Structure 1
């Protein structure tokens, strides 16, 4: 087998990733190996679990070295609307996942997409997922300001087996504790670690508690469990028909639930519903 110089460089990068498996530079080395072949603009490694805020293993540093406020909002509450988080919690499995694989039918019409995703991720996102067990998933996200092309997705899918295998080998070296935002060490390397407060996953209130807080504060009648479920699916980007299919109820029943939600919370649109959810979380806490 003949190797070109590009192949030799790639093998050196893979060697560096393997060498860093037990070091703080693992995730940075992994991104360097991948970005030789596919351009992306931000990355983060997280652990997902149902009803818990994601725990951060490492993330790409901001250009000015400051804490990313929008990402803190994600960790505080908005993760509950993230299609990658929802899919990993509902169907934990190892593999390469694209936004098209998990995004609901009305995702691009949601306030979450317009007010967070487009501003923070901007164009597209893919995940390498390693299912740790039935509840926990180690997720490595690559975000881009552009849409990934067919070649990009094909290359990343081709890399998935060894990326996920390395993630599995890395797992024993992750502590999943609250830590600091990434900085730069004396050698110019990224110092990896989660954002402040990232270790408080089990203490983070659920969306049901958030809506209860909103209802109580405004003197509204509390939403039922089913109404909360419909509200969150709506905010996540599921159309009325998609919600009906997901919950195995009729289209008209979903419409009735939405009417009750809007009446109880004294709102008239999905954007107002998002505002209530958002203000009860990171901005309104």
Structure 2
């Protein structure tokens, strides 16, 4: 007697949908079709496809707003807030393929940052997952899935199960992405210290390179202990750098530092 076939109707539907996606790899609606398919199994409220690189992230596709227009908050992200994005920072620190949840990459004090309160909480709301495909040492293709609710363990397990299918489709799609193949090289990130110390801010005293590094890590949500580990210095030295930085900039809080950062993006 032959072995039983345990293939379910849901399995058949998944493979049929993947087959159609393969046939439509060269179509402009590919990314929207793929995220709709994922949404059948793991509901998402927003999505964006981008390429992380040493410069500003390159956006390939994004979910439409309810009004059908441009998402102003996401435009702020592209102007410079990406420099505080835990997914961007984690990828630049250690680029690799895989599935990453916010909890995997967020610094210890992320939810206390102005970036979280003024951007992330309003734009993504509760949770975010990235499906990353490393294209080469400098570039990583990333599908970001945002949700108003925390992703459950069952949803995460399902995404990990289908990740090889999704990653394969993402990699094959890149062949047809004119934006990533023919566009000029991505605009390099302006040095963060130069952004913060833009002449329009009328700040006379420049921060040292180390003080600027501490500032960025603070704004991204790193605790003193995390900053010390990343920069291979002591936690006490971190406090000294913070004090000197605040004195130079004439500020007294991290919120004031974030406002200076925003002004430097304009």
Task: Indicate whether the TM-score tops 0.5.
Answer: yes
1:240-285 deviation line (CA, Å, top 9, x unaligned): 111001111011110000001111111111111111101221xxx2
Say if 1:235 and 1:274, in contact at 8 Å, map to a contact too: yes
Secondary structure of 1:70's counterpart equals helix
1:207 paired to 2:192: yes
Matched, 1:148 2:151: yes
Pick one of 9, 21, 28 that aligns with 2:25.
21
Given candidates 55, 62, 74, the residue that maps to 1:71 is: 74
Identify the match of residue 233 of structure 2 among 232, 249, 270: 249
Aligned residue runs from structure 1 range 48-59, under 5 A: 48-50=52-54, 52-59=55-62
How far residue 200 of structure 1 moved from its aligned partner, in angstroms, is 8.4
SS at match of 1:264: helix
Q: Are the aligned partners of 1:16 and 1:29 in contact in 2 as well (CA < 8 Å)?
A: no
- Would you tell me which structure has more helix in proportion to its own residues? 2
Q: Secondary structure at the match of 2:204?
A: coil
Please report how far the alpha carbon of residue 176 of structure 1 lies from its aligned counterpart in structure 2 after TM superposition: 2.3
2:201 touches 2:264 (CA, 8 Å); kept in 1?
no
* Residue in 2 that maps onto 1:102: 105
Deviation of 1:3 after TM superposition, in Å, equals: 3.0
- RMSD, aligned CA: 1.6
Does 2:241 match 1:273?
no
Conservation of the 8 A alpha-carbon contact between 1:211 and 1:223? no
Aligned residues: 260
8 Å CA contact 2:127–2:148 kept in 1: the answer is yes
Instruction: State the distance in 2 between where 1:200 and 1:53 align.
Output: 10
Task: Compute the displacement of 1:205 (Å).
Answer: 2.9
How far apart, in 2, do the equivalents of 1:19 and 1:212 lie?
Answer: 50
Structure 1 stretches lacking a partner, 5+ long: 178-197
Aligned-partner SS, 1:56: strand
Deviation at 1:204? 5.2
CA contact (8 A) 1:130 1:168 kept: yes
Which residue matches 1:191?
Answer: none
2:177 equivalent to 1:174: yes
- For the pair 1:262 / 2:266, whether they are aligned, the reply is no
TM-score w.r.t. the length of structure 1 is 0.87
In the TM superposition, residue 218 of structure 1 has moved relative to its aligned partner by 2.5
Task: Check the 8 A contact 2:100/2:130 in 1, yes or no.
Answer: yes
Shift of 1:100: 0.9
The residue that corresponds to 1:165 in the other structure is 168
> Aligned residue for 1:231?
215
Identify the residue that residue 11 of structure 1 maps to in structure 2.
Answer: 15
CA deviations over 1:144-178 (Å, ceiling 9, x no partner): 0111111111111111111111111111211226x
Say if 2:52 and 2:88, in contact at 8 Å, map to a contact too.
yes
Alpha carbons of structure 1 residues 276 and 115: separation in structure 2 relative to 1, 3 Å: same
Structure 1's consecutive aligned runs of 4 or more residues displaced over 6 angstroms after TM superposition are none
> Structure 2: how far apart are the matches of 1:218 and 1:245?
33
Does the 8 A contact of 1:48 with 1:88 survive in 2? Answer: yes
